[in-house]
Structure 1
Amino acid sequence: MSGFDPMLTVVQVLGMSSEDEMVACFLRGELSSRRFGPNLRSHLVAAGQAEQLLTHPDLSDAGANFARRALLAAVRGYGENRDLYENFPTQVTWTRALLSAAEATNVRYLDYSYWVELSGGSRRPTDAAAHIKAGLRAFDVPNKRFVDAAHALIRGERFPPLILVGESQDNLVCLEGNLRLTAYALVGFPTGIECLIGIAPTMGRWAR
């Protein structure tokens, strides 16, 4: 355990999660990404795996869990201290939770130039949403994908869980789902946002 105490959390904890669930959730989210999906699919083919490994994960299958971890290592450096997962702790306590609207507004984007620019330096999704509504772009990248995702939420579509990490649950950074986090901000943050939360005492080295 990494010092996580459910009695101290401000979010609504639904239950314990696991590294295997986080990996499966991360890959399922990236599979639908226009930016990362094609590369992920090419690695699936190279590994001789079908998309069902990601779309219908069986967390009780140790072999499938191993295959997904290897896939996340290949595409994002998971467990290899590189790329997205550079300085990411090896011992993380994972929970499934629901965020209220107020809690979601405090979640920050990961420290990446695009999200820093879109939010005006704050890494807050509310600031990014304000810029998008004002017609501002980060590095001249169109904002249509955010608007489309917001419209999907308004139509009642449910998104995969966000993956959030931090040293404590009152200071979280979005590991996966930054686009979805922005869409939530654009519609005013509904309550009960599904997420996986990873807590580790050394997470601050990653979640700056």
Structure 2
Amino acid sequence: MLAVVQVLGVSSEDEMLACFLSGELSSKRFGQNLRSHLAAGGQAEQLLTYPDLSDAGANFARRALLAATRGYGENRDLFENFPTHVTWNRALLSADEAADVRYVGYSYWVELWGGSRRPTDAAARIKAGLRAFDVPNEPFVEAARALRRGERFPPLILVGEGQDNLVCLEGHLRLTAYALVGFPTDVECLIGSAPDMGRWAQ
């Protein structure tokens, strides 16, 4: 589907880094590793929970933290083949556009979605009680309950060669929760685009 994304404004690499790390800090999978790196560097969690994008030193520290934990800017781990020059925008996706976002091609998500890379298919499998690698689905269910209670999620971080055919870089759990409740609202996101993003977002 060719998405006509509602662009809200220009974003930046610094905003993406802050958003990415804030999302991972609240993650049961990745939060502890981030806290360990923060402690080792003598840095407080406020670097991530209250980011000041006008502070060049803090921006540099967040970039170094994402490099250490996920390989950002070092062509490894999650960011292997990720482009160096990316244009970032804040945007809203409609329900149909959000449902068309693809998961990253990692083994856990491949198992969860059953081959389609679509969040609606992952949601159907979760509702059917299917697990990926026997990992419990409770985090998805809890996040869906939070949405039903009216909680607002941080923006998803999505990437593509343009503003269509998008792949989720950060926020897979939130994307799945949206799918579990049927995408009841427009989905806030940051979109990164680059002509060579296809090398990463396959």
**TM-score relative to the length of structure 1:** 0.95
Runs of 4+ displaced beyond 4 Å = none
Specify the alignment match of 1:23 in structure 2.
17
Aligned with 1:12 (options 6, 30, 34): 6
- 1:173 & 1:125 partners in 2: Cα distance? 11
Q: 1:197 aligns with which of 182, 191, 200?
A: 191
Aligned-partner SS, 2:192? strand
Q: Does 1:59 align with 2:53?
A: yes
The within-5 A match list for 1:75-154 is 75-154=69-148
Paired with 2:58 and 2:162, the residues of 1 have a C-alpha distance of 30
Q: CA RMSD in A?
A: 1.0
- 2:179 matches 1:185: yes
2:40 is the counterpart of 1:46: yes
Q: State how far apart, in whole Å, the 1-side matches of 2:91 and 2:184 are.
A: 14
Q: Distance in 2 between matches of 1:166 and 1:12?
A: 15
Q: Determine helix, strand or coil for the equivalent of 1:69.
A: helix
C-alpha spacing 1:128/1:9, structure 2 compared with 1 (3 Å)? closer
Work out whether residues 100 and 190 of structure 1, in 8 Å CA contact, stay in contact via their aligned partners in 2: no
Identity %: 84
Please tell me whether the aligned partners of residues 158 and 189 of structure 2 are also in contact (alpha carbons under 8 angstroms).
Answer: yes
CA distance in 1 between partners of 2:185 and 2:194 (Å): 25
When residues 92 and 168 of structure 1 are mapped into structure 2, their CA distance, relative to the original with a 3 A threshold, is same
Offset at residue 9 of structure 1 (A) = 6.4
Alignment partner of 1:175 is 2:175: no
Please, which of 62, 65, 73 is the counterpart of residue 68 of structure 1? 62
Using the TM superposition, give the Cα deviation of residue 133 of structure 1 relative to its aligned residue in structure 2, in angstroms: 0.5
Point out where structure 2 has 5 or more consecutive residues left out of the alignment.
none
**How many residues of Structure 1 are paired with residues of Structure 2 in the alignment?**
201
Contact 2:103 2:109 in 1 (8 A): yes
Letter in 2 for 1:43: H
- What is the distance in 1 between the residues matched to 2:169 and 2:31? 16
Q: Per-residue CA shift, 1:41-64, capped at 9, x if unaligned?
A: 000011111000000000000000
Distance 1:194 1:77 in 2: 25
| 1:191 Cα deviation after fit | 2.8
CA contact (8 A) 2:3 2:97 kept: no
Three-state SS of the structure 1 residue aligned to 2:132 is: coil
CA distance in 2, matches of 1:28, 1:140: 27
User: In the superposition, relative to structure 1, how do residues 124 and 9 fare at CA in structure 2: closer, same or farther (>3 Å)?
Assistant: closer
- The structural deviation recorded for 1:145 is 0.7
Question: In structure 2, what is the equivalent of residue 32 of structure 1?
Answer: 26
